[in-house]
Structure 1
Amino acid sequence: MMVRICVLTNAKSGHNRKGLARLAARLSAYGAVTHYVTRSPEEARALMPVLYDAAPDVVIINGGDGTISATLGLMLEHWRAETLPLVMLLPGGTSNMTAGDIGLASSPARALDRVCRWLDAGAPLEGGDIRSRHIMRVTGAADGAVRYGMFLGTGAIMQATRFAHDKVHSRGLRGEWSLGLTLIRTLWGLVRQDRRFYQPTPVGLALHRPETPPVCRAEAPMIILVASTLDRLFLGMRPFWAQESGSIGLTAIRGGAERFGRTILSVLRGRLNRHTTPGNGYESFRTERIEMYLDGELNLDGELFMTGGGQTPLVVSVEGPIRFLRPPQ
């Protein structure tokens, strides 16, 4: 029986703006593939009932981190988790951090070549690398919208995001190189306590895991706070070292953290050294649900949004998991 494959392309994602015609031409050669192109969130939402009725075995999402998270959220709204199709990710965006962990983490051209080799082989569902990840569901924003994503950050993450938009992406730099330049500049600003980057954000936390009491942290100024359901962030970073179970990794670094310059590289690798302690301002957790109390802005897979205020918790929970397929090289 022929495998049914649907490809969803965001025409406005970074790399897709120039490569869409070539991608569409190559995919048109395969009868098992139905290719949909969207240009707005409204078009993507309207497509979901059509996609559900098509009952694909594999959904290939071609876009950046924001496109991937929004599409996965829409899929979770239409499918029960246990009936979701396999998902494959093409790096069609500007940064492609999600594709770097669970997708085809090469250049868009090489990723498309890999998909076509898989299609030429009959699109086998066995023999590839299948990994499961949960998706974060985020509520409590100022606009009342429900959001989905796989990376959430605040504190210096916000200053880094603005620097990337203003100084890096505006010059045409994309991919992990652009993220690497942004990381270096941000860390240098934090080490020097440059006010353009060193702006601690007061955050209170309540962390929940099944069958255990909540872990609560009183409001404290954070220079970095990141939460993710990915195993690997960009440039191979794994900044979560907690050993307990939980689908969400969370790392928090307080303002004034001791020996920051000597410790931050260990934090980014997820490898403790003798300075990486709660007493020195470094904490990492694994959890299933987070309540954040803060008044400010956050980055969810590249989308910036405001919280509902310090008294309204921003609630981060998990849905899924979703199974991601990477075909053989």
Structure 2
Amino acid sequence: MDALNLPLTSLRIGLIYNPLGGLARKHRHVISTILAELPKVSEWQISTGEDFDSAVNALIQTKIEWLIIIGGDGTIQGIFTRIFSRLPSNRWPFISIIPGGTTNMTAFDLGIHEKPNQILERLRQHLNQMTNNLTLKTINKAVMRIEQTGQPALYGMFFGLGLIARGVKFSRSRIKQIGITGNIFTSIIVLRSLIGTFWGRPHPAWAPVHIMPPQTTEANEPQPYLLIMISTLDRILMGIRPYWGQEKAPLHMTFIKQHCIRFWLAILRITLNQGQLLKKEHGYLSYNTESLELLLDDEYIVDGELFYAASHQGPLRISAKEKVKFLIL
């Protein structure tokens, strides 16, 4: 982790705020009060796809150099996708994340755990100080690019298939509406996914995903997997690191087959960050890579948002060649 000295008097600062995120809703009043007191910051409030487009177009036109995002994983993904598909990497702004969503894995992986109003208050104090410079810690982190022929490229930090995507569908039920956020919310999603698969009645809603497996010598036909996780984040929900590959590459990935052995023991080991004890021949595979391709007909998620891949359009291509410089408030 490095540090960067920011010249506040000349830096063009922008802030995008999603008031509909789980944490943002809980602290809406105090957030609005602090935002009204921020000097020299261009602000955009977003809640629809049109709002995302308008905000990103505006920040590009005004040549924002430091972008602060108040939102969860889905908001970050939507902004990244729009910015990075329109600007070359050498023109990307610095990014700061203030967790404001229902799930905030990207913020937590960066070590950001405070409430949004606490971070905003610190930002307000920085901007109102008489000093011209602000020194912040920086973290360079790779961003995934997910692309398929005929579809616009997506940019995000976490990709999920199988139980992960099924769980996101469940999350859009009553559980999300009652205001549960953070690790509790994510734990409920995962638990419901597992129960639906192993103790529920067979149902398409909890079916495994069929893909052409990478790094395999098996028959050239789709194989069933319970779940697949691919991410540039070091840790995801509840601080778990569900990968154990040793390769030096930005994409961390884990594949768990439908007919894996001792599933519940494996889940315990993954939760305890002991995935290296699991074996490929038992249905568990984890490695790091620069890129990969997956051929499938199913839903997938990128940072909590659902998308669909159709095999007739060719494989999904996932890579992580570009990095974002995150500034930690």
The two structures have a TM-score, normalised by structure 1, of: 0.85
- 2: CA distance between counterparts of 1:43 and 1:295? 30
Q: 2:154 aligns with which of 132, 147, 151?
A: 147
Secondary structure of 1:99's aligned partner: helix
Secondary structure of 2:140's aligned partner: strand
Corresponding residue of 1:241: 244
Query: 2:234 corresponds to which letter in structure 1?
Result: D
- Worse-superposed segment, 64-73 or 168-177: 168-177
* Mapping 1:194-273, distance limit 5 Å: 195=202, 199-206=207-214, 218=220, 219-272=222-275
- 1: CA distance between counterparts of 2:17 and 2:23? 11
Per-residue displacement from partner, 1:211-249 (whole Å, max 9, x unpaired)?
A: xxxx77753110010111111101001111101022111
Query: 1:72 corresponds to which letter in structure 2?
Result: F
Per-residue displacement from partner, 1:243-270 (whole Å, max 9, x unpaired)?
A: 1022111100001110111111222444
> In the TM superposition, what is the alpha-carbon distance from 1:172 to its structure 2 partner?
2.2
Corresponding residue of 1:64: 72
**Mapped contact 1:10–1:37 kept (Cα < 8 A):** yes
Secondary structure of 1:145's aligned partner: strand
> In the TM superposition, what is the alpha-carbon distance from 1:146 to its structure 2 partner?
2.4
Q: 2:51 aligns with which of 34, 39, 43?
A: 43
**Mapped contact 1:88–1:103 kept (Cα < 8 A):** no
- 2: CA distance between counterparts of 1:135 and 1:120? 32
> In the TM superposition, what is the alpha-carbon distance from 1:16 to its structure 2 partner?
3.4
1:186 aligns with 2:193: yes
> In the TM superposition, what is the alpha-carbon distance from 1:11 to its structure 2 partner?
3.4
Per-residue displacement from partner, 1:21-52 (whole Å, max 9, x unpaired)?
A: 53233123232322111232223223334313
Distance 1:257 1:310, change over 3 A: farther
> In the TM superposition, what is the alpha-carbon distance from 1:70 to its structure 2 partner?
1.5
| % same residue | 28
- Worse-superposed segment, 82-91 or 44-53: 44-53
> In the TM superposition, what is the alpha-carbon distance from 1:120 to its structure 2 partner?
4.5
Query: 2:258 corresponds to which letter in structure 1?
Result: G
Q: 1:88 aligns with which of 84, 88, 96?
A: 96
Corresponding residue of 1:304: 306
* Mapping 1:6-155, distance limit 5 Å: 6-17=14-25, 19-102=27-110, 104-121=112-129, 124-126=133-135, 128-140=136-148, 144-155=151-162
- 1: CA distance between counterparts of 2:72 and 2:217? 34
The two structures have a TM-score, normalised by structure 2, of: 0.85
Gaps of 5+ in 1: 208-214
**Mapped contact 1:140–1:308 kept (Cα < 8 A):** no
- 2: CA distance between counterparts of 1:273 and 1:103? 24
Query: 2:164 corresponds to which letter in structure 1?
Result: I
Gaps of 5+ in 2: 1-6
- Worse-superposed segment, 190-199 or 10-19: 190-199
1:166 aligns with 2:173: yes
Runs of 4 or more above 6 Å deviation: none
**Mapped contact 2:37–2:124 kept (Cα < 8 A):** no
Corresponding residue of 1:211: none
**Mapped contact 1:105–1:111 kept (Cα < 8 A):** no
Query: 2:13 corresponds to which letter in structure 1?
Result: I
